[in-house]
Structure 1
């Protein structure tokens, strides 16, 4: 018999699948228990910490890159005084707390701006080593930590100088909300900087002071635990296939204080893509975010449902398998034995005919053929209509209907989360705060890009040779991958030099007075361009066109769903996945949310987060307009995100999804195994029944070929042997009749 053919394998596999599915149903549905703190809240804190780590890593790397690029541009030009260098650096970038220029040979401080730079801590003898100019963290006398970055200023016939800048380890533009704290932790678990928790002496009441002390204690405990967990492999800290953050991240559940549970997320500083690390990732820093969450004690999940559903499926499986074995498998096996007996020539006893179906028709035909092999004349016996209709196909359909009676309600009706499902308010707050963080990150990236263009414009202000300007543009494009093209326009709008793609600036049009504008409006691809005037060049400007992929990459954060950047008219100009440029948002609710969040409350507009409910359809949405200063503020853009919570680890949705999965698995098992049984057994059996009846009615010419090497094929081979035996008997009878007729 064939390994995959025959009557036994599909029934055995079907029985095994139903038994396994009953076990999965009992364990899968029974293990869904109410949690006062859903897993979705913990995952959201993990994503929040990842956002902080991404922002901090990008800020630190950007600061070091900008400092080295500025020093390289100064070194490539005419010698400049230390004060000139620091003045231009300070007027272009406002990211460093302190800057200084030091003469390396003598160690003399030549110029300084901002807070005091602890240049005496610099070992000038090691600046020539491989890692001599690598940034390093230092501890100030007041206990604060600074990141010190270095870059060389070198000119011919002048002593070599060192450009030094210090920066704090604070997060750029992380939206914390009201009840969250975030901290930077070193490799030993020491908190280097924190935001969101006031100092004890800044609060007024004893109750507030106790809360602050408890928050500080929890944050320190979370920091120690996060560093301890950093020894794990990054792939083990996330769900398989989740992708996204490349570093180590996770969540920690803390203690309860006055009814609120402290929850933390942590993430190490990781590179933006797989491969070598960056300057910031080599510092060994970890970001820890902490928030207090109110737990939900209500329980709406019945723990017995899994056992009841599994028991019902098990009972249905026993009935269906028993029916298939008793009405299809057993008659076919008996028929196989009877046909083989006739093929061997054993005609002593009548054929046992099954009660109904194709096996009954074949058994009746075999009995007629047994009589004919015994020498009696062929007789035509009509088969009853009931035997023709009650075939294997009908029984298979009935079995499928029984399984469907269990699977359809389970997949479509039972355990629906409905419009009464409780979405934790923390998820709505996290959607809002994370969207606000992304909005600020996009705004800062555009501001950083414009600052780069301003720096380039000031450095090439005195250049007249196009080759020198070209070299500056190429070096800038190499160091900053955010630009698709860089070029210099004269006062009449003509391109002087360029690098990268073809400029999108309209020919003959003077450079824009706005620092950042949109080019190619209404086209297939939105192009954002920054304009920076070149001092003393009669309206000439450096123009940088930002790559669309660069802006879209800033929006790709897991756990936020669909993310879009929209302009002041609420038209889409960027997204984390497929979108149509300059199209409206998908519904009026999102449009109204963006419009409402853009309204100023106080000095700045505020981000908004909300739950949209329309019957059973629940959606989390948030919108955050550009707020803060810089050239990008004038754009009036907003970032909007939305997602359905039915994919989150909320117990009601987990139970619903597992229930639907159980129903779909039952339908799949029934379709696969019963379909297999119909194709392999029922259909060939019906065809063979017609051939057997034709053979019994006197058709001796039609050869019976087995379709499969199984029980049905064996019956077909036996019938073929019977046909050949009847054909031989017919020839012998004909040969004997011819001489008798001549006499």
Structure 2
């Protein structure tokens, strides 16, 4: 017999698979140990640190790019004094703590604004080196760190000057909540800047001061561990094909204090695309975010369910396999032995035929052939079928499938449903709220940066620039920033004087005072969002830049937040990280109520809000954060809304539900594969053989019987073919006896 064919291999494989699944079920669902901090909380802290790293990297790169681009615009215009340069920069950007202009040849300070820039760290003699203008970090005497950015101011016939901008390493717009702390560390695990941990001398009680010292010590411990871990290559720090954050990131567990365990996430500064370094990534900085999390001492479930599920599967599997062995395999093997006996000429004993199914039909046909070979009369008449004559092997396979399905269906649909019982940690709701608020600030800052760029362009265009020169400046600005789809200059009458990029959308009416960013349309496939800045000395002329909606949507794509949408003051969708219809109403009454409540002022400001609710029996986490803070984007009145099902998070109850569903799916897959294999290899050929055997016993001597496979069915087929070949010769050699005739009959 073939090792891979026949009736034995499918039944044996089904037995092995069901036993293996029972063992997996007992081990997976019978797990008694449980993490005191759910994996979802650890992942959330990792993603929070990634958000901080992305925001810090974008801020450093944007600062360096803005300084260099502004210097380039100054270099393209007529020479101006250092004080005028710094005054124009200060009127456009408020991101630097201090700015200065230094004469390169002499090292003399020509002008300064803001806090004192640590010029002693600058060696003007080495500025000819290509890397001399890269940003660098300088530690001040008070222990604080400043990041210095450089750009050259160069006009024909004038001495070269160095434009220097100083900035701290504070996180731009990171929402920490009440108990979280975050820090920027270098490659040596030194904390360069931190936020969220108050200084002990600022606290009133001894307990508060002790807690602050303990938190600071824990943060330093996390920083040392994170500094070692981020040295790994991103490809080796992740599983193959993991994707997501392009840098190195992870989570850490700390000590326990009064029932709260310190949990931290860390992330290195990485470029927007894997393998593409930026100015910020070359500084060797990392981010560590720490928060205390209440441990959950309760156990989701004990080993009882896993053991019962595994035991019931063993019982069901044993019944199914016993049914296949007793009703399919044994009758077929008995047919094989009976057919071999007939081919050897042993015709004395009747054929032992099964009681039902195809095996019974073939056994009855063999018995008829035996009688025909003996020459008995009436042996060509088909026998009458019993009550189970129409119930064959196909029905038996269906019964086995129903037995296994009786175990799989409850596992798939009924047992361990977590939507009504899952305990969602409050920390996940807090993280959803704070990360949504951080994302809101990131979008607001991106729009403000775009408007500030237009203001810088408008200031440099001035009153005397020709349309051709305008287009040169606009084209250079559009190529340097991927946020614009079109840039153009509109005069006081609304006529476009110069433009670059896509076809402009003319604003419908004049913008109101202070409305520097607005949506130009209220219908269509894409919202058109435009920022503008007035050009001094041109009688109401403005520079208008239309943002690419893809740029805004790309800011919303952060893992772990689910579906994120931007809605306007009328709660119409403006952008999102997934597919959406522009200007469609925000779906769900709960979400609309959440946005309405978030935009109501508490005191003098609006605050983000997060909520856990159950919709249709399923737990959902949602958060909303309005545009707050300064800048031109505040007048938009937008709100960022995020929501995700709790089932997508690594919560123990949902993990148990997923394992239960997985066990049911594996059981169905094993039964379908093995029973389907049995049907194709055995049942279908057996049904065809039953028809051929009945035809042969009914008198069809011309049809040759060919075996399809070298297995039990094929062996019976070969035996029938041998009987077909022997039958005419046997009948010729041994004619059937006849009754004697009388004289009258002969005459």
TM-score (norm 1): 0.95
Once the two structures are superposed, residues 165-207 of structure 1 have per-residue CA deviations (whole angstroms, 9 ceiling, x without a partner) of 0110010000000010000000000100000111111100111
Quick one: structure 1 residues 733 and 331, their matched pair in 2 at CA, closer, same or farther if it must change by over 3 Å?
closer
Residue pair 1:361, 1:387 contacting (<8 A) in 2 also: no
Structure-2 residue corresponding to 1:603: 604
**Residues 1:486 and 1:714: Cα distance change in structure 2 (over 3 Å):** farther
Alignment partners' CA distance in 1, 2:507 and 2:86: 36
**Equivalent residue number for residue 354 of structure 2:** 354
DSSP-derived class of the 1:600 partner: coil
Residue 493 of structure 1 corresponds to which residue in structure 2?
Answer: 494
CA-CA distance at 1:234 after TM superposition: 2.7
Inter-partner Cα distance in structure 2 for 1:451 and 1:38: 43
1:265 matched to 2:283? The reply is no
1:305-320 to structure 2, matched below 5 A, reads 305-320=305-320
When structure 1 is superposed on structure 2, of 559-568 and 371-380 the one drifting more is 371-380
SS at match of 1:531: strand
Distance between the aligned counterparts of 2:386 and 2:236, measured in 1? 64
Q: CA deviation at 1:733?
A: 10
Matches within 5 A, 1:651-690: 651-690=652-691
Q: After TM superposition, give the deviation of residue 719 of structure 1 in Å.
A: 2.3
Correspondence 1:82-481 to 2 at 5 A: 82-235=82-235, 237=237, 242-343=242-343, 347=347, 349-377=349-377, 378-481=379-482
Q: How big is the shift at 1:656?
A: 1.0
Deviation at 1:210?
0.8
224-233 or 585-594: bigger deviation: 224-233
Between the aligned partners of 1:235 and 1:147, the Cα distance in structure 2 is 29
| Residue aligning to 1:737 | none
Offset of residue 680 of structure 1: 2.6
In the TM superposition, residue 615 of structure 1 has moved relative to its aligned partner by: 6.2
Mark the CA change 1:480 to 1:5 in structure 2 (over 3 Å): closer, same or farther.
same
**1:627 aligned partner:** 628
Cα contact 1:684–1:707 (8 A) shared by 2: yes
Paired with 1:664 and 1:681, the residues of 2 have a C-alpha distance of 25
Offset, 1:510: 5.5
Identify unmatched segments of 5+ residues in structure 1. Answer: 735-743
For 1:76, the equivalent position in structure 2 comes to 76
The 1-side partners of 2:431 and 2:566 are apart by 18
CA drift at 1:571: 0.7
Distance in 2 between residues matched to 1:709 and 1:437, nearest whole Å: 69
Stretch of structure 1 that moved more, 466-475 or 654-663: 466-475
Contact persistence 1:33–1:303 (CA under 8 A): no
Partner of 1:649: 650
CA drift of 1:3 comes to 6.2
Q: 1:15: which partner in 2?
A: 15
1:296-341 Cα distance to aligned partner (Å, 9 max, x none): 2222312232222222212322232222122212221232343344
Distance 1:195 1:290 in 2: 11
RMSD: 2.1
- Whether the aligned pair in 2 keeps the contact of 1:97 and 1:114 (CA below 8 Å) is yes
SS at match of 1:359: helix
3-state DSSP class of the match of 2:193?
strand
- Contact 1:237/1:250, CA 8 A, preserved across alignment: no
Q: Which residue pairs with 1:57 in the alignment?
A: 57
Find the residue that maps to 1:619 and give its secondary structure: strand
Shift of 1:419: 2.0
Aligned partners of 2:142 and 2:576: how far apart in 1?
Answer: 44
1:741 aligned residue = none
- Relative distance call for 1:363 and 1:717 in structure 2 (3 A) is same
Q: Deviations over 1:24-65 (max 9, x none)?
A: 112221236433211111111001000000000000000000
Distance of 1:36 and 1:15 partners within structure 2: 38
Q: Which deviations, in whole Å up to 9, do the C-alpha atoms of 1:418-458 show, x marking residues without a partner?
A: 42321111001000000000011000100000000110111
* Structure 2, gaps ≥5 residues long: 736-747
Give how far 1:597 is off. 0.2
Residue 589 of structure 1 corresponds to 590
**Structure 1 CA distance for aligned equivalents of residues 315 and 240 of structure 2:** 35
CA distance in 2, matches of 1:53, 1:32: 37
Give the CA deviation at 1:151.
Answer: 0.3
- Between the aligned partners of 1:67 and 1:605, the Cα distance in structure 2 is 33
Classify the secondary structure of the residue corresponding to 2:133: coil
Alpha-carbon distance in 2 for matches of 1:338, 1:539 = 106
Distance in 1 between the 2:458 and 2:3 partners?
A: 77
1:549 alignment counterpart: 550
Range that drifts further, 575-584 or 168-177: 575-584
Cα drift, residue 506 of structure 1: 4.7
Q: What does the per-residue CA deviation read over 1:214-260, in whole Å, with 9 as the maximum and x for residues that have no partner?
A: 11011111101111212334356556655321111111111112222
Q: Is the 8 A contact 1:102 1:108 kept in 2?
A: yes
CA distance in 1, matches of 2:476, 2:32: 57
Q: CA deviation at 1:387?
A: 4.1
Contact kept, 8 Å, 1:10 with 1:677, in 2: the verdict is yes
The answer (yes or no) to whether the contact 1:358–1:387 under 8 Å persists in 2 is no
1:524 equivalent to 2:525? Answer yes
2:744 corresponding residue in structure 1? none
Contact 1:511 1:531 in 2 (8 A): no
Residues 1:596 and 1:177: Cα distance change in structure 2 (over 3 Å): same
- Give the distance between the partners of 1:435 and 1:317, measured in 2 at CA: 50
Match of 2:745 in 1: none
